[in-house]
Amino acid sequence: MIDSGPGALTSEDLARLRRCVDLAREALEDGDEPFGSLLVDPTGMVRFEDRNRVRHGDATRHPEFAIARWAAAHLTPEERASSVTYTSGEHCAMCSAAHAWVGLGRIVYATSTEQYAAWTTEWGIFPAPVAPLPIRAVAPGVPVAGPAPELADDVRALHARRFGIEL
Ligand code: ZN
């Protein structure tokens, strides 16, 4: 394991992120948008995982939002602060806010909001209704790590499939 600094991704981080990408793929194959996330507690146990569930019309059904609400209901403030959220795509502004409001800790993402915005712009996708803010702009107290260059092509391909783009 290479650890080149506090923001560096470890091999364990990458394994968690690969699981998030698998959840994103599962979401896409089920008619939802390709995003997946999981929550790891201070002992290293995965406590909750989810993927996007917007296909029935509720556009707030993001996995990161689900994690924040689950954590508020099931973890102590101390557990929340020392848990790590892994996600295939950096939190949107709504999820960054929810994450910070419930006092969750570090976030590790596979691909950034900046990358996602660049891909959708390149593909001519109509801009999202929410500004593409990075986590640090919404929740400056939350430690973040990412992106993981190893996973960029996989995540980009899932989003291309979602929008019917041929890469
Ligand atoms: Zn979100």
Q: What is the DSSP letter of 127?
A: P
Name the residues annotated as catalytic: 64
What is the helix (H) or strand (E) element at residue 108, kind and residue range? Answer: strand 107-111
Ligand 1 center–CA 83 separation, angstroms: 18
Q: For the sheet containing 144-145, what is the strand order?
A: 46-51, 36-40, 84-89, 107-111, 144-145
Q: Where in the chain are the domains?
A: 6-163
Structure tokens at 133: 């803010």
> What does the pLDDT look like over 22-59, one tens digit per residue?
999 999 999 999 999 999 999 999 999 999 999 999 99
pTM for the model: 0.94
Q: Is 135 exposed, middle or buried (0-12, 13-18, 19+ CB in 10 A)?
A: buried
> What does the pLDDT look like over 89-148, one tens digit per residue?
999 999 999 999 999 999 999 999 999 999 999 999 988 899 999 999 999 999 999 999
Ligand 1 center–CA 2 separation, angstroms: 30
Ligand 1 center–CA 161 separation, angstroms: 20
Ligand 1 center–CA 92 separation, angstroms: 4
Ligand 1 center–CA 144 separation, angstroms: 15
Domain range 6-163, CATH architecture: 3-Layer(aba) Sandwich (3.40)
4 vs 159: CA distance, rounded Å = 30
